Amino acid sequence: MAGGVGGFRATAVHRVRRELRKRRLEAGLSLTALSGSVHYSKAQLSKVERGLKAPSRDLARLCDADLGAGGALLSLLVPETTDPPVDPAPLSTRRTGSCNCRRTARTPSSP
Protein backbone atom coordinates (compact mmCIF):
# COMPACT_ATOMS: atom_id res chain seq x y z
CA MET A 1 0.00 0.00 0.00
CA ALA A 2 2.98 2.33 -0.32
CA GLY A 3 2.18 4.63 2.58
CA GLY A 4 -1.54 4.86 1.93
CA VAL A 5 -4.40 4.62 4.37
CA GLY A 6 -7.44 2.49 3.67
CA GLY A 7 -6.50 1.78 0.04
CA PHE A 8 -5.97 5.42 -0.89
CA ARG A 9 -2.72 7.21 -1.65
CA ALA A 10 -1.28 9.11 1.29
CA THR A 11 -1.38 12.34 -0.72
CA ALA A 12 -5.10 11.85 -1.45
CA VAL A 13 -5.87 11.26 2.24
CA HIS A 14 -3.84 14.37 3.13
CA ARG A 15 -5.68 16.51 0.58
CA VAL A 16 -9.10 15.25 1.69
CA ARG A 17 -8.37 15.81 5.38
CA ARG A 18 -7.20 19.37 4.74
CA GLU A 19 -10.13 20.17 2.44
CA LEU A 20 -12.69 18.64 4.81
CA ARG A 21 -11.40 20.64 7.78
CA LYS A 22 -11.17 23.85 5.74
CA ARG A 23 -14.72 23.53 4.43
CA ARG A 24 -16.12 22.52 7.82
CA LEU A 25 -14.56 25.55 9.50
CA GLU A 26 -15.66 27.88 6.68
CA ALA A 27 -19.21 26.60 7.20
CA GLY A 28 -18.88 27.39 10.92
CA LEU A 29 -19.56 23.80 11.93
CA SER A 30 -18.06 21.87 14.81
CA LEU A 31 -17.17 18.20 14.44
CA THR A 32 -20.24 17.45 16.55
CA ALA A 33 -22.55 19.42 14.25
CA LEU A 34 -21.14 17.86 11.08
CA SER A 35 -21.28 14.37 12.56
CA GLY A 36 -24.98 14.85 13.28
CA SER A 37 -25.64 15.95 9.71
CA VAL A 38 -23.75 13.15 7.98
CA HIS A 39 -24.56 10.44 10.56
CA TYR A 40 -20.92 9.52 11.21
CA SER A 41 -19.44 9.75 14.67
CA LYS A 42 -17.45 12.75 15.83
CA ALA A 43 -14.53 10.37 16.51
CA GLN A 44 -14.64 9.07 12.93
CA LEU A 45 -14.62 12.59 11.49
CA SER A 46 -11.79 13.59 13.81
CA LYS A 47 -9.69 10.61 12.65
CA VAL A 48 -10.32 11.55 9.03
CA GLU A 49 -9.37 15.19 9.62
CA ARG A 50 -6.18 14.12 11.43
CA GLY A 51 -5.24 11.69 8.65
CA LEU A 52 -5.49 8.63 10.89
CA LYS A 53 -8.30 7.09 8.86
CA ALA A 54 -9.13 7.37 5.18
CA PRO A 55 -12.61 8.66 4.47
CA SER A 56 -14.98 6.29 2.73
CA ARG A 57 -16.45 7.39 -0.57
CA ASP A 58 -19.81 7.53 1.20
CA LEU A 59 -18.49 9.89 3.88
CA ALA A 60 -16.88 12.13 1.26
CA ARG A 61 -20.16 12.22 -0.69
CA LEU A 62 -22.20 13.10 2.41
CA CYS A 63 -19.75 15.81 3.51
CA ASP A 64 -19.72 17.21 -0.03
CA ALA A 65 -23.49 17.55 0.08
CA ASP A 66 -23.67 18.93 3.62
CA LEU A 67 -20.84 21.43 3.13
CA GLY A 68 -21.88 22.45 -0.38
CA ALA A 69 -18.55 21.31 -1.76
CA GLY A 70 -19.98 20.26 -5.12
CA GLY A 71 -18.12 16.94 -5.22
CA ALA A 72 -14.72 18.42 -4.35
CA LEU A 73 -14.03 15.96 -1.51
CA LEU A 74 -15.12 12.90 -3.48
CA SER A 75 -12.98 13.94 -6.44
CA LEU A 76 -9.88 13.98 -4.21
CA LEU A 77 -10.25 10.29 -3.35
CA VAL A 78 -8.07 8.39 -5.78
CA PRO A 79 -7.73 4.65 -5.11
CA GLU A 80 -4.16 3.48 -4.72
CA THR A 81 -3.13 1.32 -7.65
CA THR A 82 -0.11 0.78 -9.79
CA ASP A 83 -1.90 -1.52 -12.20
CA PRO A 84 -2.86 -0.11 -15.60
CA PRO A 85 -6.56 -0.16 -16.44
CA VAL A 86 -7.73 -3.44 -17.87
CA ASP A 87 -9.32 -3.28 -21.31
CA PRO A 88 -12.31 -5.54 -21.85
CA ALA A 89 -11.95 -8.33 -24.39
CA PRO A 90 -12.48 -7.24 -27.99
CA LEU A 91 -16.05 -7.59 -29.18
CA SER A 92 -15.10 -10.41 -31.54
CA THR A 93 -14.18 -12.67 -28.62
CA ARG A 94 -17.10 -11.78 -26.37
CA ARG A 95 -20.07 -14.09 -26.13
CA THR A 96 -23.35 -12.46 -26.75
CA GLY A 97 -26.89 -13.67 -26.46
CA SER A 98 -27.79 -16.90 -24.79
CA CYS A 99 -25.32 -19.40 -23.50
CA ASN A 100 -24.21 -22.03 -25.98
CA CYS A 101 -23.81 -24.56 -23.19
CA ARG A 102 -25.75 -27.80 -23.24
CA ARG A 103 -27.44 -28.87 -20.09
CA THR A 104 -28.03 -32.53 -19.73
CA ALA A 105 -30.80 -33.61 -17.47
CA ARG A 106 -29.95 -36.33 -15.05
CA THR A 107 -32.39 -39.12 -15.41
CA PRO A 108 -32.33 -42.41 -13.64
CA SER A 109 -30.63 -45.00 -15.81
CA SER A 110 -32.84 -47.69 -17.28
CA PRO A 111 -32.09 -51.32 -16.41
Cβ contact 20:34 at 8 Å = no
Out of 35-39, 46-50, 105-109, least confident range:
105-109
Q: What is the pTM of this model?
A: 0.63
Cα radius of gyration (the chain): 23
Element at 61 (helix H, strand E): helix 57-67
Q: Is residue 72 part of a domain?
A: yes
Q: Which of 23, 14, 29 is nearest to 76 (CA)?
A: 14
Domain presence at residue 35: yes
Count: domains in the chain = 1
Model confidence pLDDT, tens digit, residues 57-103 = 999 999 999 999 999 999 988 665 555 555 555 555 555 555 555 55
Q: Kindly report the CATH number assigned to the domain that includes residue 47.
A: 1.10.260.40
Distance between CA atoms of residues 68 and 12, nearest Å: 20
Tell me if 1 is assigned to some domain: no
Full domain range(s) for residue 53? 10-76
